């Protein structure tokens, strides 16, 4: 096998795996699919065999494409195997071997990186919901005829704000009094379209905490979806565009509210060779990247006085927890709300099955994983499941529907719940 293929597959890194199997109980796909090839250890072995020419690239396609990328395996691995790099390399090799598909290319090259297309998505969804078309479509099962299971997800979408409201958003929120921090807000692609209100609520919490907030012009999709599907070159171009956008002004924090996006942003420096100019610029960018929960805890500018009579459980985003290592901050914020009862899940570390576009392209497998998660949720019996990532939020809404408990349990983004508690500046 060529050295280039070995390098792309992270062959050297596969030797760090000592085959101990400690990662197996942590892996959702090993649990639900019950195959060694669908475990972290099995996948690493397969990649090694492909690099050595003992297996073909196609042999690793299914096991690799069925990996959630949740990184739960990395948190328990005693030898600190760089599984993320091995997985990304394998996905890149698989993507290069795949025949090009025009629809897929359109989504990754044109749709996600474009704020105009994201606006169009938000406006079209608003019109679909507002015009009554959604009700008709659901009544007659029209979306069930779509090639992908979008009917499940469109039913879980939140109500879209009117286009006028979206257009009316400022790109700079300055305080009358001196601010305690200058925040560059990473708005995301889907997040700013489908979860526009959550972005606005994030801004409001930052303002009440004493910060000023700027939406830098020229920012784009973080590139996580591209990286998850092996489009590494495209994800590097998006990283450069974001670094340039946030370099226009000096920021104390670059804040995001989506665990999956944040995990990509904090790894931008790994995309460039050490010592290069882009690597140095990426390091400066990454130093400022924070999840909203970290910044709210660090600024400590909010006081929660309103009592909220609600029982909640927290479903951590895998990428927030396992990649960004943000674990205690969301819980610390929830614990500040008077009256709120926080019940811990039995297995909070177990992925919900959302994982970027995994639940769309591997629908059946994602639902098996979601069913395990929902058993845990129902056992805890909360009023709300709190999440910190848009994909997890939609997945939990879907799980709640599947379990038939939608009148009893709801799902909410951490930011939306915090603002509902109406905290005031200290």
Tell me whether residue 66 or residue 226 sits nearer to ligand SF4 (CB atom): 66
Comparing CB distances to ligand SF4, the nearer of 209 and 317 is: 317
- Residue from 381, 371, 297 nearest 334 by CA: 297
Its sign, for the CA torsion 172, 178, 182, 188, is: negative
Report residue 21: phi and psi, to 5°.
85, 5
The position carrying tokens 């997945």 is 395
User: 275 is written with which tokens?
Assistant: 């010592």
Nearest alpha carbon to residue 89 among 47, 41, 42, 30: 47
DSSP code string of 155-207: TTPPPPPPHHHHHT--SEE--SSPPSEEEEE---SHHHHHTHHHHHHHHHHHH
Instruction: Output 63 or 423, the one with its CB closest to ligand SF4.
Output: 63
Choice between 180 and 357, CB closer to ligand SF4: 357
CB of 74 to ligand SF4, least distance (A): 7
| Residue 70, token pair as written in the block | 């949740």
Shortest Å, Cβ 70 to ligand SF4: 4
Backbone dihedral angles phi then psi of residue 250, each to the nearest 5 degrees: -85, 125
Kindly list the residues in this chain that would bind ligand SF4 in the complex (CB under 6 A). Answer: 17-23, 26-29, 40-41, 43-44, 67-73, 77, 79, 81, 83
Pick the closer one to ligand SF4 by CB: 166 or 319: 319
Closest distance of CB 351 from ligand SF4, Å: 6
Closest separation in Å from C-beta 14 to ligand SF4: 9
| Structure-block tokens of residue 339 | 């009256």
Pairing of strands 172-173, 211-214: antiparallel
- Whichever of 18 and 142 has its CB closer to ligand SF4, that residue is 18
Cα–Cα dist 9/93, whole Å: 7
| Residue whose CB is less far from ligand SF4, 86 or 418 | 86
Phi-psi region of 64 (alpha: psi -120 to 50; beta: other; left: phi over 0): alpha
CA 193 – CA 160 distance, rounded (Å):
8
Residue 93 CB, nearest approach to ligand SF4 (Å): 17
Task: Tell me how far, at minimum, the Cβ of 235 lies from ligand SF4, in Å.
Answer: 18
Output 88 or 416, the one with its CB closest to ligand SF4: 88
Strands (E), 179-283: 181-185, 211-214, 253-256
At closest approach, how far in Å is the CB of 73 from ligand SF4?
Answer: 3
Note the residue count of the chain.
426
Identify which of residues 255 and 370 has a Cβ nearer to ligand SF4 in the complex. Answer: 370
Rounded Cα–Cα distance for residues 304 and 228 (Å): 38
> CA nearest 166: which of 195, 191, 194, 196?
196
In whole angstroms, the minimum distance from the beta carbon of 102 to ligand SF4 comes to: 29
Residue 388 Cβ vs ligand SF4, minimum distance, rounded to whole Å: 18
């Amino acid at each position: 096998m060529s050295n280039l293929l070995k390098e792309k597959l992270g062959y050297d890194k596969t030797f760090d795996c000592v085959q101990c199997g400690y990662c197996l109980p942590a892996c959702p796909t090993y649990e639900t699919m019950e195959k060694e090839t669908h475990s972290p250890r099995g996948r690493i072995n397969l990649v090694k065999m492909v690099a050595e020419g003992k297996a073909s690239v196609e042999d690793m396609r299914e096991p690799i494409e069925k990996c959630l990328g949740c990184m739960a395996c990395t948190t328990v691995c005693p030898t600190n195997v760089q599984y993320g790099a091995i997985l990304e390399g394998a996905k890149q090799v698989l993507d290069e071997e795949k025949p090009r598909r025009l629809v897929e290319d359109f989504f990754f090259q044109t749709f996600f990186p474009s704020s105009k297309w994201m606006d169009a998505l938000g406006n079209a969804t608003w019109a679909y919901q507002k015009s009554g078309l959604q009700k008709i479509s659901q009544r007659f099962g029209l979306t069930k005829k779509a090639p992908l299971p979008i009917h499940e997800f469109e039913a879980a979408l939140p109500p879209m704000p009117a286009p006028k409201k979206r257009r009316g958003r400022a790109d700079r929120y300055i305080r009358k009094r001196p601010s305690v921090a200058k925040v560059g807000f990473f708005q995301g692609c889907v997040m700013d379209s489908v979860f526009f209100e959550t972005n606005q609520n994030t801004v409001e919490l930052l303002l009440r905490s004493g910060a000023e907030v700027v939406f830098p012009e020229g920012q784009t999709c973080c590139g996580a979806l591209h990286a998850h599907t092996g489009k590494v070159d495209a994800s590097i171009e998006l990283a450069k565009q974001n670094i340039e956008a946030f370099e226009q002004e000096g920021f104390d924090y670059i804040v995001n509210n989506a665990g999956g996006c944040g995990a990509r942003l904090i790894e931008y420096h790994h995309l460039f060779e050490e010592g290069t100019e882009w690597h140095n610029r990426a390091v400066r960018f990454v130093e400022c990247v924070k999840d909203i929960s970290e910044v709210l805890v660090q600024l400590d500018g909010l006081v929660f006085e309103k009592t909220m009579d609600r029982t909640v459980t927290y479903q951590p985003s895998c990428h927030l927890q396992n990649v960004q290592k943000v674990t205690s901050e969301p819980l610390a914020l929830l614990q500040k709300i008077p009256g709120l009862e926080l019940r811990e899940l039995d297995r909070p570390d177990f992925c919900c099955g959302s994982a970027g576009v995994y639940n769309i392209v591997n629908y059946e497998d994602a639902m098996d994983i979601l069913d395990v998660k929902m058993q845990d949720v129902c056992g805890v019996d909360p009023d709300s499941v709190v999440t910190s990532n848009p994909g997890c939020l939609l997945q939990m809404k879907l799980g709640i529907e599947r379990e038939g408990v939608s009148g009893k349990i709801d799902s909410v983004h951490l930011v939306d719940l915090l603002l509902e508690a109406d905290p005031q500046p200290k």
